[in-house]
Amino acid sequence: MNIKFKQETFRDDFSFQNSPEAIRRFPFPFHEDKYMYSVNMEPHVPGSKGHAYETLIDVDEHYISEMADRAKVLKEDPLRCQALPHMMQAQWDTLELLMEQMAEGYPDLFTLTRQADQWHWINRPLNIDQKFTFGDVTTLPCEPMEYITRQSQGDFCIVDQRDNNLWMDAGIATTQADWSLDFDIGMNFMEWHGPVPLAHQMGVFERALKFLLNLQQGKPVRRLNWTMTINPRLDTSPENYHKWGSDRMTVTPENVGQKVHLRCELQSLWRLPRSNAILFVIRCYLLKMGELVEVPKWGRRFPRVLKSLPPELVDYKGLTRFRDMTVEWLSKYDDGKPTSPGIYPD
Amino acid sequence: MSINTDMAVRVTAITQVAESVKRFRFERLDGKPFPVFPGGAHVVVAWKDGGMIRRNPYSLMSAPGDTSAYEISVLRVEKSRGGSAFLHEKVKLGDTLSLSQPVDLFPIDQRGRKHIFMAGGIGITPFMAMMDQLSKLNQNFELHYAVRTRTHGAYWQELTERYGAHRVKIYCDAEKLFIPTEPLLGAQPLGTHLYVCGPGGMIDGVLGTARKLGWPEENLHSERFLAPPPGAPFTVKLTRSNKTVEVAEHQSILEAVEAAGVDAPFMCRGGACGQCETNVTACDGEILHHDHYLPQADKASGKKIMICVSRIKGKEITLDL
Ligand SMILES: Cc1cc2nc3c(=O)[nH]c(=O)nc-3n(C[C@H](O)[C@H](O)[C@H](O)COP(=O)(O)OP(=O)(O)OC[C@H]3O[C@@H](n4cnc5c(N)ncnc54)[C@H](O)[C@@H]3O)c2cc1C
Ligand code: FES
C-alpha cells in the first residue's frame, strides 16, 4: 500500500478533496435506491482491496491533515477528550487495539514491538518514536486514549458495560456529526440515543442494546451511518454550531458539486479484553457531490435515495435547506437506468 | 452472522488440585497467543465424545494477561453422565479440543473501591482470574471462600500464600466454620462491590442478606454454574429449518437442535447471556423456564424460551428457528 498523504484543510479555505482512488474507496452507505433507518450490523471483517474495508482500522490519504485538525480542535476545547477515572484499563485496551491494528494493516507506516510490558511504537507519517511501559501512564506524554487517538482517524467512544446497560464513560470527539461528548459523557445507551425520530417506535434501540451487550471479543461488527455536510468540515459539533450552522445558507445551484458533501460514518464496535468495555470507532468520510458523480452507479442512486427520504428524516439530518437543490443538481447524472445491488462501484 | 473464531487447542498439562478437581492447561495448535481476557470470563469447551459433540462452559482461572495458555479447573460432578466425567476420565495429555473466544458475564465493576468475593467450592474459579487482575492494578479486594473439607477445597493454600491471610479467609464446613455473611456485609465502606459464585442456595442466601442490609442492586454480582437439567423427553418442531427433533431426557433443546445439524446462537449455555433466546410459535404443554435471563413477564407470556437450559412438560413445542 502506497499512500500519498495530502496537506489540506477542513476549515477556513476548505482545501480538502479526494483523489480518484479515494473516491472509489469511499464507503457508500446505500445498497439500494432507497434508505430505511436500521441497525444493519455486519461482521467487521477485512473487505476487498482498494475499499475502506480493506483493513479494520483504515488509514487513508487524509491521515496527516485530519490529525492536524484534531490537534487544533483539542487546543481550542480540551473537553472534546474526556475519560472517567474507572476507564483507565479500557484506555489501555484501546491503545493496544489501535496500535496492533495499524501495525498489522500498514507495516510500512507503523511498527509495534513488545517485550513484556516494554513497548516501542513507531509512527512514520507523524514522525513519532515512543518507548513506554504498558500500564504505566507516567511513561506517556498524556493518557493512553488521548495518546493513540491523536494518531488515529475518527472519533472514539469507550462504553462501559454495567447493570445490563452501556455507559458512555470515555471518548474523544473532534469530527462528530452534531453530537456532543461533553453532553453525553456518563449517559447510558438509551439516554444518548434520545433524539432520533421513528427509530424508537420501531424498537430499534432495544434490539441494538441487546445485541451489543452480547458483542463478543474477536468478533467486531460494523455499520454505516450517514448525513450531509456543507463544506468539508470535520468538526460539526453542537459546541461550534455558530461556526457551521450558517454554511447551509451558502448553497446555490452553481456550487452544489463543490460545497455539498455526503458524510459517511463507518462505525465499528469492538469488545475490549481487560475491561470488558466496548470501543466504538466512528470514522468519518467526506465525498463532494462533484466527486460522487464520478461513480455512475452512485450518481444514479443518490438522487433517488434523497428524493425518497421521509420528511422527518430530512429534518432530523438537517438537509431541509439544500435537499431539493441537491436532487436537482444530481438529476443530470441519473439517466433512469437500473442500478446494481450493493454499495460497490460497478 | 457466523464467523468462526473458535481456537483449536492441545492439552499440555493435567493436574489434580483437590479431591474431584482437575486443572487443564490448553495451548493453541496454531501457536498464536491467546487473547487477553477479563477476569470473570468463561470459554465454551467443545470436544467429540463418541458420535456427539459436547460443549460445556468453564471459567478461565489462569492469569488474564498470560497469553501463552488458558487454564480451567473442573469439578467431577457426582452424577455426571456428561462432560465433567469425560474430562476427568478420558482426556489425556496431547488431546485436542476447541475453545470459544472468552465471554465475560461476570465482570468486575471498575468503579468499585473495594471488591468482596464470596466463593463456594468450585465457584472459586472466576475469582482466581479476577484477583490476579486486581492485584496487578493494586486494587482492594477480599476473598471469603467456603469449602467442604480441606482436601475438597482447591487452591485455598496457594491463594492464602499469594495474597495473605488478611485478604483470603477460608471457611471449612467440616470444621463448622461458615462465612459470617451478615456481619461481613454489614460493615463495608461505601462503593464496595460484592461478587458471589457457588451453589445456587449459597448465591440466593448471600444476595438475600445483602438486599436485606440495603445494598444497592448495582453493587451485587453473581454467577451460577447452571447446567441443563434433565427431564421427560419431548418433540421440537423448527419452523425455519423445517425439521422435527426429539429432545432426550439428558439433552437440552440446544443440544438436540445442534445434533440435528441446525446452527443456533449461544454464548454461555447456562441460561445467563440471552443469546439463545428463541420465539415460541406453539406449545402444547408448559414451558419450564430454568434460565435467569428472561424477565418474568416474558416467561409468563409463553412466547419466549432460552433453549440452552429450559425445556417443556408436554409433548411438543414449535420454535421459530
Ligand atoms: C458460566 C459458567 C461457568 C462455569 N465454570 C465452571 C468451572 O470453572 N468449573 C466447573 O467445574 N464447572 C463450571 N461450570 C459448570 C460446567 O459447565 C458443567 O455444567 C459442569 O462441569 C457439569 O457438567 P457435566 O457434563 O459433568 O454434567 P451434566 O450436568 O451431567 O451434563 C452437562 C452437559 O452434558 C449434557 N448431558 C449429560 N448427559 C447427557 C446424555 N446422556 N446425552 C446428551 N447430553 C448429555 C447435559 O445436558 C449438559 O449439557 C460453569 C458453568 C457456567 C454456566
Ligand atoms: S446460551 Fe446464554 S442464555 Fe442460553
**Is A223 noted as a catalytic residue in this protein?**
yes
Q: In what order do the strands lie in the sheet with A110-115?
A: A110-115, A118-123, A128-133
C-beta of B258 in contact with ligand 2 (< 6 A): no
Distance, CA of B14 to CA of B22 (rounded, Å): 7
CA B284 → CA A122, B244, B305, B316, B318, distances in Å?
Answer: 65, 15, 14, 6, 9
Tens of pLDDT along B116-175? 999 999 999 999 999 999 999 999 999 999 999 999 899 999 999 999 999 999 999 999
Do the chains contact at A214 and B267, CB–CB below 8 Å? yes
Residues B217 and B257 in one domain: no
**What are the backbone dihedrals phi and psi of residue B222, each rounded to the nearest 5 degrees, phi first?**
-150, 155
In a domain, B1, yes or no: no
- Closest ligand relative to B305 C-alpha: 2
Q: Indicate if B200 and B124 belong to the same structural domain.
A: yes
| Residue B172 sits in the same domain as residue B243 | no
Residue pair A25/A50 in contact (Cβ under 8 Å)? The answer is yes
Beta strand pairing call for B234-238 and B316-319: parallel
Domain CATH number, residue B267: 3.10.20.30
**With contacts defined as CB-CB under 8 Å, which chain B residues touch A160?**
110
**What is the ipTM, given to two decimal places?**
0.91
Q: How far apart are CA A167 and CA B159, in angstroms?
A: 34
d(CA B176, nearest CA chain A) in Å: 36
Task: Determine the distance in angstroms separating the CA of B94 from the nearest CA of chain A, rounded to an integer.
Answer: 26
In chain A, residues with a C-beta closer than 8 Å to the C-beta of B111 are 86, 162
Domain identity same for B92 and B146: no
- Cα of B312 from ligand 2 centre, angstroms: 17
For residue A143, which amino acid is it? E
Helix axes B125-136, B156-163, angle to 10 degrees: 10
The answer to whether the Cβ–Cβ distance between B1 and A213 falls below 8 Å is: no
Instruction: Specify if B131 maps to a domain.
Output: yes
CB proximity B138 to A under 8 Å? no
Q: pLDDT class for B1, splitting at 50, 70, 90?
A: very low
Distance B303 CA to ligand 1 centre (A): 27
Q: Of the candidates B99, B122, B145, which is a domain's last residue?
A: B99
Q: Are A247 and A231 in contact (CB under 8 A)?
A: yes
- DSSP-derived letter for residue A236 is B
Q: Which of residues 43-102 of A touch B (CB under 8 A)?
A: 43, 45, 86-87, 89-90
Describe the crossing of helices A296-307 and A323-330 by its angle, rounded to 10 degrees: 140
Same domain, B207 and B246: no
Higher pLDDT, B78 or B103: B103
Do residue B27 and residue B95 come from a single domain? Answer: yes
Same domain, B118 and B219: yes
Chain A nearest CA to B3, separation (Å): 8
Give the atom of ligand 2 at the shortest distance from the alpha carbon of B265: 1
Task: Give the range of the structural domain holding residue B32, as residue numbers without chain letter.
Answer: 7-99
Q: What is B34-77 written as a DSSP string?
A: PPP--TT-EEEEEEEETTEEEEEEEE--S-TT--S-EEEEEE--
**Residue B124 covered by a domain:** yes
* Proximal ligand: closest to the CA of B222: 1
What pLDDT does residue B82 have? 80
Sign of CA dihedral A34, A35, A41, A46: positive
CB atoms A219 and B104 under 8 Å? no
Residue B179: CB within 6 Å of ligand 2? Answer: no
What are the mean pLDDT values of chain A's consecutive 10-residue runs (346 residues total)?
A: 91 96 96 83 92 96 98 95 97 98 97 96 98 98 98 96 94 84 81 63 76 94 93 90 88 96 95 97 97 97 95 89 96 94 92
Q: What is the pTM of this model?
A: 0.93
Interface subset of A 170-209, CB within 8 angstroms of B: none
B52 belongs to a structural domain: yes
> Which of ligand 2's atoms lies nearest the C-alpha of B307?
4
| B243 plus B311 within the same structural domain | yes
Pocket test for ligand 1, best of B56, B70, B105 (most atoms within 8 A of CB): B56
The CATH number given to whatever domain includes residue B71 is 2.40.30.10
Give the Å distance between the CA of B228 and the centre of ligand 1: 7
- pLDDT (0 to 100) of residue A246: 87
- Which one of the ligands is nearest to B304 CA? 2
Q: What is the rounded CA–CA span in Å between residue B277 and residue B319?
A: 11
What is the grid cell recorded at A132?
Answer: 513506554
**Which of B185, B203, B223 delimits the end of a domain?**
B223
**Could you tell me the residue ranges of all domains in chain A?**
20-55+153-331
- In chain B, which residues have their Cβ closer than 8 Å to the Cβ of A218? 5, 35, 101
Determine how many CB atoms are found less than 10 A away from the CB of residue B29.
12
Looking at CA atoms only, how far is residue B304 from chain A in angstroms? 15
In total, how many domains does chain B have?
3
How many contacts does A have with B, using Cβ atoms within 8 A?
59
Ligand 2 site-directed mutation target among B225, B308, B310, most atoms within 8 Å of CB: B308
Residue B277 lies in a domain: yes
B121 and B87 together in one domain: no
Catalytic residue among A24, A223, A271, A300: A223
Q: Is the pLDDT of residue B92 over 80?
A: yes
Q: Cβ–Cβ of B38/A43 closer than 8 Å?
A: no
Task: Say yes or no: B177 and B254 in one domain.
Answer: no
Quick check: is B228 in a domain? no
